[in-house]
Structure 1
Amino acid sequence: MMIISIGLASVGVLVAIAGLKCTRYLDGDNRLKNRIALTGGSFFILSGLCALVVTSWFMYDIMADFYKMKSDEGFVIGRSLIAGFVAALLCLFGGMLLSICSATCMQSNGNVIKHPTSKSPGKDYV
């Protein structure tokens, strides 16, 4: 399942790159570009959910084994489990952020306030 999560994140990266505003792919159609970015965000959300499920399941097994044993041997939640939780949460957060931003851009009319440009470049200095 973690391999599936990595695969979904990889596909999400490729799809999200195509939907970013800084790329020249589908430059004329902003609505389609936002939909592609929304799709990439949903791939990231699915990837984060898969990673979170696997990490939580493994943690549950460790805790169940710990409570079954009567000896003084202790189990420690390792760094890899913590890294799995952090990676899953970052993937979820990034996917939600990408999805929300592209969904709000799809709903807006495209009336974005831009910085004023100079009519004579090279003469105005900051």
Structure 2
Amino acid sequence: MASSGLQLLGYFLALIGLAATVAATLMVEWKKQYQGKTYRIYEGLWMSCSGNERTTCEFHQYLLKLPPEVQATRAVMLVSVFLSSVALMVSTVGMKCTRFMDGKAEFKSAVAMIGGIMFLIAGLLTITMTSWYVKMIVQKSYEYHSLTSAEFGNAVFVSWAGGFFTMAGGAFLSCRRCSGSQTGSISSNHLLPTTHPKSNYV
């Protein structure tokens, strides 16, 4: 089983990644668009805002009328958040510092590894979808450069950071490299008490 320190580090990194992914999903600054020098338009996955100094926001009312990149990104980000939430519960059960399944060390280690793999998949989904969204914005900005000037906003960077933190946490939780050395040390410690008493009687 991986050491408790590495598991705690991976757990907190994944927790930070999940929080950043949720924040990015709810943020409105996925795409920034300027009309003139003062009028700004922000487009998110759930609402859009526009105005000069004061902006007014409204939720997207018709899902089918949204651009394909917004529909796909919204769906994948929700899947990533759901998968990370399930991985958070699974990892809590499998972590060494918890008291769940104390008598089943091997099974507990496998549960922690499954939670880490789920975090890895969730982070990969977030990074891949965010990168595809940015690619679509860049392509559209080249196509309609004469009419509007569009660029990606701060939510993209928050989403990338959330994906990287989630993957880093999943990598620590799913690491089994330390299990061999720790298992070996545990088995050797079990042998020591049986050999020392015999040597005392000889």
TM-score (structure 2 length as normaliser): 0.51
2:179 corresponds to which residue? 106
Q: Distance in 1 between matches of 2:111 and 2:105?
A: 10
1:76 counterpart SS class: strand
| 2:131 pairs with one of 56, 72, 93 | 56
Q: Distance in 2 between matches of 1:79 and 1:105?
A: 38
1:75 counterpart SS class: strand
Q: Which amino acid aligns with 1:32?
A: F
How many equivalent residue pairs? 112
Verify the 8 A CA contact 1:26 1:33 in the aligned structure 2: yes
Alignment of 1:107-126 (within 5 A): 107-108=180-181, 109-111=183-185
1:76 CA drift (Å) = 2.7
Q: Distance in 1 between matches of 2:106 and 2:81?
A: 28
1:34 corresponds to which residue? 109
| 2:95 pairs with one of 20, 23, 35 | 20
Aligned: 1:68 with 2:143? yes
Q: Which amino acid aligns with 1:106?
A: S
Alignment of 1:62-101 (within 5 A): 62-71=137-146, 73-100=148-175
Q: Distance in 2 between matches of 1:105 and 1:15?
A: 20
Structure possessing the higher radius of gyration over alpha carbons: 2
1:119 corresponds to which residue? none
Work out the percentage of aligned pairs sharing the same amino acid. Answer: 31
Q: Distance in 2 between matches of 1:74 and 1:98?
A: 43
Q: Distance in 2 between matches of 1:60 and 1:76?
A: 10
Q: Which string of whole-angstrom CA distances, capped at 9 and with x for unpartnered residues, describes residues 16-38 of structure 1? A: 00011111100112111110000
Verify the 8 A CA contact 1:31 1:106 in the aligned structure 2: no
Residue segments in structure 2 that go unaligned for 5+ positions in a row:
1-75, 187-202
Verify the 8 A CA contact 1:18 1:33 in the aligned structure 2: yes
Verify the 8 A CA contact 1:38 1:98 in the aligned structure 2: yes
Verify the 8 A CA contact 2:88 2:115 in the aligned structure 1: yes
